[in-house]
Amino acid sequence: MTPARRTSALKGGALLVVVVLALLVPVFAPDPATTNIAVFTTMYVGLATAWNIMGGYTGYISLGHAAFFGFGSYALGLLLAHLGIAAGYTPFLFVPVAGILTVVIALAIGWIALRTRAATFVIVTIACMFLLQLLAENLVSLTGGGSGLSFPVPTWSGDFFNTPYYYAMLVLALVGLAVSAGIRRSKFGLGLLAIRDDEDKALAVGVPARGFKLTAFVISAALVGMIGAVYGYYVTYIYPQFVIDPLVGISMVLMVFLGGLGTLWGPVVGALILEPAQLWLSYNFGASRLYLVFYAAVFLVVILLLPRGIVPSVTDLVVRWRHGSTAGPTGGSSETREALAAPGVRSP
């Protein structure tokens, strides 16, 4: 086998192992404390992956994706309430409907926000998020406003309860990863990367930038909306400021940056590290008031030392090490090549 073939076979095998392990989590560790962390971690794997489709590939940083998270959540909650759907497995079937509704709102927000670029875009996404939050708070007859919105609660036992939600989150995360991988391989994906590198040049060579950006934005938002829907059903009670929460939006961005912006696996790595760390630290050390300072310090160090994120930085190291020891020209995972290739990618 050529080294390249071997790498891709290895990669396929590794992928399979990861998926099988993920599927078996509730079997290995049925304890609700674990499956609960698994639900939230998988949720953020999905969120970060979805965010990366917009933020990572086009370079448009949205800090307002929590808007779609909350919107999807409210969409499902209201659907269940108005259609009188009882708790159980049926509500999961309505998650895609929440996703479709999110598409509608994302088209509207995207149309406005994508008229701007760079820093202005960042801020417009924040403004749109607060707009939705205010609507959720003030349209009391629709959303319940400040009293929040309750979901039907399944009567599953405590030991089993988390498992269906875990699989729902896992399905969405895998769909997100598949979409993300598919985009990378497509002409559409090349167009997005071209926009990231130089939007004006991309336009000049015929990339339909507006349509491409809007499409990426809407795909990303729809995934986030569906994940938000499952989240709402899982926590059983939502409240405008707790689901359209700027920190949910910022968390996914941090995970992507930590793992590696614009890479396929970076968001996954970032989420796998950050979310359990946060839940666990908060549970065990939350009482120490200095932990926020500690977070900030670690975070600063990471950005200043690993500005490109873990996946690209680590794979760089591996490449350099392999290069040094074996002089193999094709060393490194495809991730590295993708990461390295991305900035210089040619427009189609």
- Residue 22's contacts (CB-CB under 8 Å, 6 or more residues apart) are 42, 170
User: Least CB distance from residue 8 to another protein, whole Å?
Assistant: 27
User: Which lies closer to another protein via its Cβ, residue 97 or residue 306?
Assistant: 306
User: Which lies closer to another protein via its Cβ, residue 217 or residue 331?
Assistant: 217
Q: Per-residue b/e over 280-314, b at no fewer than 16 CB within 10 Å?
A: eeeeeeeeeeeeeeeeeeeeeebeeebeebbbbbb
User: Which lies closer to another protein via its Cβ, residue 207 or residue 331?
Assistant: 207
C-beta separation of 178 from 171 below 8 A: no
Instruction: Map residue 150 onto helix, strand or coil.
Output: strand
User: Least CB distance from residue 32 to another protein, whole Å?
Assistant: 5
Tokens 């977070």, located at residue: 295
- 130, amino acid identity: F
Shortest CA distance to 86 belongs to which of 158, 156, 171?
156
User: Least CB distance from residue 88 to another protein, whole Å?
Assistant: 14
Cα 168 from Cα 182, distance rounded (Å): 21
User: Which lies closer to another protein via its Cβ, residue 36 or residue 347?
Assistant: 36
C-beta separation of 61 from 253 below 8 A: yes
Shortest CA distance to 54 belongs to which of 168, 195, 151, 163?
195
Give the dihedral sign, CA 54/56/59/64.
positive
User: Least CB distance from residue 287 to another protein, whole Å?
Assistant: 5
- CA 325 centroid distance within chain: 36
User: Least CB distance from residue 178 to another protein, whole Å?
Assistant: 23
User: Least CB distance from residue 163 to another protein, whole Å?
Assistant: 12
User: Which lies closer to another protein via its Cβ, residue 94 or residue 161?
Assistant: 161
Cα 70 from Cα 75, distance rounded (Å): 8
Q: CA–CA distance from 258 to each of 37, 64, 318, 342 (Å)? A: 20, 18, 18, 17
- Lookup: tokens for 313: 């930085």
User: Which lies closer to another protein via its Cβ, residue 187 or residue 201?
Assistant: 201
User: Which lies closer to another protein via its Cβ, residue 286 or residue 329?
Assistant: 286
User: Which lies closer to another protein via its Cβ, residue 15 or residue 33?
Assistant: 33
User: Least CB distance from residue 4 to another protein, whole Å?
Assistant: 29
- Lookup: tokens for 294: 């500690």
User: Least CB distance from residue 55 to another protein, whole Å?
Assistant: 9
Phi/psi for 26 (5° steps) reads -65, -20
User: Least CB distance from residue 174 to another protein, whole Å?
Assistant: 18
User: Which lies closer to another protein via its Cβ, residue 26 or residue 331?
Assistant: 26
